[in-house]
Structure formats: structure tokens, C-alpha cells
Structure 1
Amino acid sequence: MKLLQALFFPPEQPGGVSSMIPYLQDRFNPPHWEMELFSLPKRIRSKGSDSVQFQTFDWHEFEESPIVQKYVQTYRDYLWWTKLRIKQPYDLIHAHHPIAGLAMKEVFPDIPVVQSIHSSYERELILNGRIQENGLEHRFLTSIYKELEHRTDKLFTVSHSFASYLAPYVGHPEAIGVIPNGFDEKRFKPVPHENEVAQLVTVCRLVPAKGLDILLKACEELKKRGLNYVLHIIGDGPSRLELEELAQQLGIYDETIFYGYTLHPEEFMPFFDIFVLPSRAEAFGSVFAEAALCCLALVGTDVGGISEQIENGTTGLLVPPEDSVALADALEKVIIDPDYRYQLARTGSDKAKTHYSLNRVVHELKQLYLQFK
């Protein structure tokens, strides 16, 4: 069976789907399986010129928005690149971005296309302050979900929480499948260590949706309580300068290290003690599973896919979003009690190995793909 994994970002892009898809190739071996990856290079901009029509709504109602115009132009570019680069037929295409799925079905209407939805672009834009809820962009982007349902052959996502989020925007929410992300355990090697001062780490894009302002305020509270810690922030993004200034204002800049972008954070994540990320929304939250496989204690917010990964008090600690004091309380528990911290890390790691292994994902995907053979 010849398979195409249609990504949006190039495979080397860190985080999310790119943490999983490139590793699938090693598990889909010839002669029974052949798998290739496809994505849109960053250099491809404003190449496509095809007229765009969707079958379930008229996108021109929203075209006065620059964000909508950019989205549609990116769709045109993906169409152009697909027509230019793909000549050989495939038995099935697995798309990992709405633009990829719609473009592939447009170019290859007779090939089955299964569509994974890994995150919510519109929710990210709202949380990051770039669009208004129920505004033009929000209504356009949520209309895409019904278009995907109408045109692709199977729709699924990465958590039950996110499937519930999608339900109001499609005609048959009961048909949405759920396959959580999977991770190659060989990439994650826990390292026995004892840090005299608790080492906190977070790995994410530095944007408002990740709630790092709440984390810094929680760390200010920890310092007021006389607790010693070091906070390592790995990642970059438009909020970096603002977060650095906030750390200075809160008096915790000396306890905080901003690393910027790092390609393979899993290589040194095992040397930390506690992974913390107070996201305001997460469809899945791949970095929690990655941190669990590194045997770190997990502290996260009770939202989306994070809640499905963390069983509060057993595989990690959950706190309400937007609550810096509750976050400080949770962090204090794992800072002052190394035995409890280790217990959470071990149970979290065991769950991640069981529920989020790459082998499990491969098994489920093979069963899905064979339905279209």
C-alpha cells in the first residue's frame, strides 16, 4: 500500500505532529507498505493563482479579512506545489493540516484522503489576541471543519476533548475518530540525577496561549514563600521580550533562564525535575507526553488534551487555568517533596509508554488505512 503523509510544515519543524510523523516511516516497511512525506516549503509564497471555491460555504463573505486572504493564498500555494511535485499515484493520503487535506482532495479526487486535525488555529489566534471570537476570521476558520467533513473520507483528531470542541462545527460529530499522538521511546532517555535545587522546565512557543505569564507569577509566589528553584524556558516567539520584562518586574529574572529556540530539547530535558506548562488551551499537548517519557513530574492546566494525559495526583498535577496561586501550590508540593515528585514522574512515564507509544499509533493507523484498501 502506497501512502502519502501530507504535512503543512516541513518535517523538521519542532513540536506537535512533526514530533510523530517522520518516525512513522521506519514502521511502515516495504513490501507491504510504502510511505512518503510531503509538505510546503517556506520559500513557496504567492505562487498559486487558482480560483478557490468551497462546497459547503462561500468564503468570499470573509475575504475582507487579511488573515482569511492569507489563508486562501496559502491554500492556492499548496495546490500549486502539489500539482507541480506529485506525479505518481498513491493508494491513500493522510493529511495533517486542513489546507493539506483540501488541496489533496482537490488534486486527487479519486484517492481516499483521511484527515487528522491536530489543533485549532482559530482558538490560538483568539487566545493570542489576533482575532475576535465570532468575528470574520473565527467564522471562516470554523467553517473549514464542515468542508473537511464533506470532502475528505475520514475525519479524526488527537483527543476526546478536541473531538467535543469540533462537534458544533460538523454535521456528524459521532463519526469523528480519536487517535492520540504517539512517540518513539528511543528518543527519550531518562537520566538518574539529583539536583540540589529543583529545576523547572517548560518547552513551548512563546505566545499568550501558553500561559507563561501565569507561570512567572506563580514563580514569584514561590520565591515569596522562600522556595528555591530555577525555571528554564525553552522556546521562542513573539512574547519573549514581554515575558523577559515581566520576569524582571516580578523579581525572578535571576531564577529564570530563557534559552530561545532549541531543535532537540528532549536531549537535555531528562536532567530537569519538573515539567510545567499552564496552557490556556491544548488540543493534545505533545510536550507533556514527551516530558513524561523523560521521567519528569508533570504540572499542567485542566484543559483539553492535558486533562486526558494527567490524572491529578497520580500521573501529575492539574490546576485551573489563569490561577497563579493554585499553580504555585502545585509546584510547591513537588518542589518540597522529592519522593512524591519521583512517584508522579514514574506513574506518568508508565502511562505515556502505555497510551502514547509509537507502536500503538502504528497499529491503529494500519487498521484505519486498510479500511480503504
Structure 2
Amino acid sequence: MNIGIVCYPSYGGSGVVASELARQLGRRGHRVHVFSYETPFRLAHFEANVFFHEVEAPDYPLFRFPPYLLALAAKIVEVAREADLQVIHAHYAVPHTAAAYLAKQMLAGERRLPVLTTMHGTDITLVGSDPQFYEVTRFSLEASDGVTAVSRSLAEESAETFRLSRLPRVIPNFVDADEYRPRKNPSLRGCFSRPGEKILLHISNMRPVKRVEDVIRIFARVHEQVPSRLLLAGDGPDRLAAAHLAETLGLQERVCFLGRQDNVAEIFPLADLFLLPSAKESFGLVALEAMACQVPVIASDAGGLPEVIEQGVTGYLAPVGDVETMARYAVRLLSDEQAYAAMARQARERAVQRFHTDPIVDAYEAYYGEILNTP
């Protein structure tokens, strides 16, 4: 099958999942063409059957802003003709689905080019629901030949918000359990902690929705009872506020900001616990990656996180902003070796059994087939 995948190249969940899907489809023998304005970081290395097409928007003096949507639609049309694309899979509805729809209409007299849209979260809950983009987002979703959401929570919210005529199909995110796995690295762990200390971890783009200051507050309470260190990977607008709070609480020597990291699969196994106190997570891919590395997760009971984390089995959930409860869960778990070992093992088991790569890529392949076989 010749498949086009449109995505952002960013470190967020949508770019990661789209890139990983492209890799997995390529390994199955499909020819996958990826469209974005720069190479997605998960596609930095050569993959047979995966081809990257950079979209460059012209920067004419007449344009106040480069017309990326038009440039993307034109690039899809060009590659569809050259590579005989059979389906376009748009990740993140704005503006990718609109561009894919435009390309589909431009090619209507030559060929059929169905469009599948996968919603990842903020494309719907923040961008798409903005009054400026609401109607174009709703039109794009309704005009798609198929629509998926990464969690039931997101599917239901999207259907209600945009008054969709059909409930999006739920195909969750997945994790490569061979890449994300527990691994002991005492020398690397020793770079960040002393013997007997625990390591707590947070990875995000550090935007307000991630509530990074809550991560610091949770850690402060945990450290009062269990000697610990905190690692934070990623960067974003709330990094400085989090660093200032750590300094105010006298924790600057115990909190380490790692910056943006490409190879997080090597960072997760260093941790004893992963913290994700977000205000909203449509799925929570980093939580799943942590679980695959046998790291229990303490997170907010928000959005799609309860579909990933099984309360009291693979981690703990608490109301958004309830740092006291989250800290209490963390201390309880870190203070009970037997309970911790059981939860860590069950976290890995759930990640492998429920979110393994193969059945989820199978589901996308099957949906492509359905779309292609529907007149």
C-alpha cells in the first residue's frame, strides 16, 4: 500500500505516534511518504520504505504569513501523482486535514485519494475549538473518509464539541516494547543520585497544561519523607517558573533539568516513579512509555489517562491539582518494596498486553482497507 502521513515534526504525542506508525508500516512492506515542514525527530535515521517530503511555504513580501496549508496541499498532490498514493493519513486536524481535503479535491478528476484523520487532543480541545477554527475543523472531520481518536475520552469529547454525525473510532497510541523496556544502568543512575535515593521523573513540553510546578510541589513533599532526586526532561514556557519554585523551596540541588532529549527510552529506566499531574491529557503517551519501562505512574485523573493507567495496579490517579494525594501515593509506594515491585511489573505487563505495537498497527491497516474498499 502507498500511504501518505501528514504530521508535525515536534516532540509532542502526535508527531511521535505518526513517525512511529510510519516506521512500523514501512517495516511491513508499505511505502510510506511523510509530509512536514522539517524531518520528525523520530525519523532522523534511515528507514527502508519511509520517504520524507519537506513542505516549504513561499515567503513572498505580499504574504504576511507563509501559506503553509496551500504549500502542503500542493506537495500532497505532487507526491500522490508521482508515488501513486492510495490514502492520506492526517495526524492533528489543524491544518493537516484541511490540506489533505484540498489535495483530494484537486485530484478528484484523476484519482480517488481518501483521507483518514487521527485526532490527538489539543488539535481538537484547544486549537479546533477556537472560534476562528471551529467551522473549518468541523468541516474537515465530517469530510474525512475516516476519523480516529487516541482515547475514548477524546472521541466522545470531539463528537460532542463538533456535533459529529459519527463517533470517531478509538485506536489508542502504542509503544514499542522492545525499545521501551526496563534496563539497569547503575553508572548512569549514579550520575544523578546517591545510593538509597529514589529518582522521580517528568517529561513534557512544559506548557501550562502540564502543571510542571505541581511536579515540583509533589517532589518537595515526597523528599520530606523519602530521600529523592527529580529529573525533568523537555523544555517550554513553564520551565523557568518551575526552576524558580525549586529554588524557592531550597531544592535546586536535587532537581535536574535535562532539556529536550531525543532518546527518552534510556531515561525512563533511571526512574522509580513517573509524575504526570497534567490538567488535561487526551492519552498520555509518556505515561505509557514509562509503564513499558516498568516505572509506575502518578498522574491526574483527567482525559484519557484512566484508560492507560489502572488505578492501584499500574499507578495512581488523583484529581487535578491535588498534590497532597499524589505525594501521599508516591511515598506509600516508594516505602513498600513489595508493593512497588508488584506495581512496576504490572505496569510493564499492561503496556505490553494492551498497547503493544502489532495489534494497533493492525487496526490502522484494517481501517485503511475499509476506507479503500468503500465507494
- What is the 5 A alignment of 1:202-351? 202-223=202-223, 225-351=224-350
**Higher alpha-carbon deviation: 172-181 or 314-323:** 172-181
Change (3 A) 1:30 1:361: closer
- Conserved? CA contact 1:143–1:169, under 8 Å: no
Deviation per CA, 1:70-119: give whole Å up to 9, x if none.
7x944234335445655423111111122112111211233110100112
**Higher alpha-carbon deviation: 346-355 or 144-153:** 144-153
Aligned-partner residue type, residue 355 of structure 1: R
Change (3 A) 1:265 1:363: same
Gaps of 5+ in 1: 50-68, 126-135
Deviation per CA, 1:256-302: give whole Å up to 9, x if none.
11111111111132121111110100111100110111110111110
Change (3 A) 1:340 1:35: same
Change (3 A) 1:86 1:368: closer
Residue equivalent to 1:93? 88
Aligned-partner residue type, residue 144 of structure 2: T
Change (3 A) 1:256 1:20: same
Change (3 A) 1:22 1:219: closer
Residue equivalent to 1:79? 73
Please provide the CA RMSD for this pair. 2.7
Structure 2 residue matching 1:262: 3-state secondary structure: coil
Residue equivalent to 1:65? none
- What is the 5 A alignment of 1:99-178? 99-109=95-105, 110-121=112-123, 123=125, 138-172=130-164, 174-178=166-170
State the identity as a percent: 22
Deviation at 1:251, TM superposition (A): 2.0
User: TM-score scaled by structure 1?
Assistant: 0.82
Structure 2 residue matching 1:232: 3-state secondary structure: strand
Aligned-partner residue type, residue 6 of structure 1: V
Structure 2 residue matching 1:180: 3-state secondary structure: coil
Aligned-partner residue type, residue 58 of structure 2: K
**Higher alpha-carbon deviation: 110-119 or 80-89:** 80-89
d(CA) in 1 for partners of 2:34, 2:353: 27
1:40 matched to 2:40? The reply is no
Deviation at 1:150, TM superposition (A): 2.5
Aligned-partner residue type, residue 268 of structure 2: M
Deviation at 1:172, TM superposition (A): 3.3
User: TM-score scaled by structure 2?
Assistant: 0.82
d(CA) in 2 for partners of 1:219, 1:156: 36
Q: How many residues align?
A: 339
d(CA) in 2 for partners of 1:315, 1:14: 25
Change (3 A) 1:25 1:252: same
Aligned-partner residue type, residue 325 of structure 1: E
d(CA) in 1 for partners of 2:28, 2:229: 51
Deviation per CA, 1:175-214: give whole Å up to 9, x if none.
3111001122221131247862111001111111101111
Change (3 A) 1:113 1:229: same
Structure 1 residue matching 2:201: 3-state secondary structure: strand
1:201 matched to 2:195? The reply is no
1:24 matched to 2:21? The reply is yes
- Conserved? CA contact 1:185–1:293, under 8 Å: yes
